Amino acid sequence: MDAIIKKHEVERRTGRKDRKYMMDTLLETADDENAEMKLTGNGIKGLLLKLQEELDRVVGLDKLVEDFDIPNLSYLQAVVKETLRMHPSLPLAFRKCREDCVVNGYRIPKNSRLVLNVYAINRDPNEWRDADEFIPERFLVNSGENLAIEPDELEAMKRQNYCFVPFGGGRRGCPGAGLAAAVLHRTLGVLIQCFDRKIKGAEKLNMEQGAGFSSAMVHPLICYPVMRVNPLETAH
Ligand code: HEM
């Protein structure tokens, strides 16, 4: 993989290229400093305070977040969705075409290998307002964007015209989506409920995402947890 990336990088930089492949698009995105919103320390602080306010109001301070609390934590759900939209763990999904077909005017011959660019679909500027900005509010019911959180994830995706596909879609869509969502909400909920955090280098925080087949950050985020409330103690 390193060799393929290197070859594309060399060809791109020396202008020796007559065709553009998906790898080139991914490399361009990695190079473009405007392609990724850089969340500031203050931006993250405001977001975390909003999450803590919701958790305190809905769950309280004397018990941990539980599964049955999740439907009432709309902002937490919106943050998880917006994170998966901007940073899908698998930015590409793969298919093989079983018969000749035409999609959007493009003829796709039988047996073609297809790579679906989940990253680009989730940030399609025709579907998303300010597509490269982290705006969890877009998923809230009153956002006016018709992307509101719905109990039936697959139905919601269909209505959104498949513009939000962090778990892929169709028959080979991720079968672990429900489990992943449950674990993400509960884990993130408990972490934010119980801890504040000190971010190393918060003043020049950079959320830039690297190129590649998993969504690693270019600059790893290092946080130190600071106990905020301990519901396990408060309960006794
Ligand atoms: C945040 C967590 C996760 C994300 C973002 C994610 C995303 C994805 C994506 C994009 C695909 C490809 C779907 C497609 O080609 O249409 C996939 C496939 C798959 N995922 Fe996940 N996944 C997650 C968690 C999980 C978990 C927890 C499990 C199992 C417990 C799981 C099991 C699978 C399996 C077995 C496939 C292959 C399905 C097939 O080829 O038919 N995933 N996942």
Q: Which of 218, 220, 200 is nearest to 209 (CA)?
A: 218
Asked if residue 179 has its Cβ within 6 Å of ligand 1, the reply is: yes
Distance 142 CA to ligand 1 centre (A): 30
State which ligand 1 atom lies nearest to the alpha carbon of 90: 10
Instruction: Tell me how far apart the alpha carbons of residues 55 and 73 are, in angstroms, rounded to a whole number.
Output: 7
Query: Which residue's alpha carbon is at the smallest distance from atom 3 of ligand 1?
Result: 180
For 63-68, what is the mean pLDDT?
95
Note the helical H segments in 87-176. Answer: 118-122, 153-159
Give me the domains of the chain, ranges plus CATH numbers: 1-49 (no CATH), 50-195 (1.10.630.10)
Residue-level pLDDT at 139: 87
Would you state the structure tokens that stand for residue 75, as one six-digit string? 């902002």
Strand partners, 102: 107
The answer to the question of whether 174 is labelled as a binding residue is yes
150-153 long-range contacts (CB < 8 A, ≥24 apart) are 151/71, 153/177, 153/178, 153/181
ipTM computed for the complex: 0.98
Residue-level pLDDT at 11: 75
Distance 154 CA to ligand 1 centre (A): 14
Asked if residue 169 has its Cβ within 6 Å of ligand 1, the reply is: yes
> Residue 50, class by beta-carbon neighbours within 10 Å (0-12 exposed, 13-18 middle, 19+ buried)?
middle
Q: Answer yes or no: is pLDDT of 213 > 60.
A: yes
Q: Answer yes or no: is pLDDT of 157 > 90.
A: no
Helix, strand, coil percent values for the chain (each to nearest 5): 45, 10, 45
Query: Which residue's alpha carbon is at the smallest distance from atom 19 of ligand 1?
Result: 174
> How crowded is residue 31: how many other Cβ atoms within 10 Å of its Cβ?
12
Instruction: Tell me how far apart the alpha carbons of residues 114 and 120 are, in angstroms, rounded to a whole number.
Output: 15
Instruction: Tell me how far apart the alpha carbons of residues 87 and 118 are, in angstroms, rounded to a whole number.
Output: 10
> For residues 74 and 201, which has the higher predicted lDDT (pLDDT)?
74
Asked if residue 93 has its Cβ within 6 Å of ligand 1, the reply is: yes
Q: Answer yes or no: is pLDDT of 217 > 70.
A: yes
Say what percent of the chain tops pLDDT 70.
75
Query: Which residue's alpha carbon is at the smallest distance from atom 15 of ligand 1?
Result: 93
For 102-125, what is the mean pLDDT?
93
Distance 213 CA to ligand 1 centre (A): 14
The contacts of residue 167 (CB under 8 Å, 6+ apart) are 84, 153, 173, 174, 177, 180
Query: Which residue's alpha carbon is at the smallest distance from atom 37 of ligand 1?
Result: 174
Instruction: Tell me how far apart the alpha carbons of residues 74 and 52 are, in angstroms, rounded to a whole number.
Output: 12
The contacts of residue 79 (CB under 8 Å, 6+ apart) are 47, 51, 136, 188
What mean pLDDT, rounded, does the chain reach?
82
Asked if residue 176 has its Cβ within 6 Å of ligand 1, the reply is: yes
Asked if residue 58 has its Cβ within 6 Å of ligand 1, the reply is: no
Q: Which of 81, 68, 54, 56 is nearest to 143 (CA)?
A: 81
Q: Binning pLDDT at 50, 70 and 90, where does residue 206 land?
A: confident
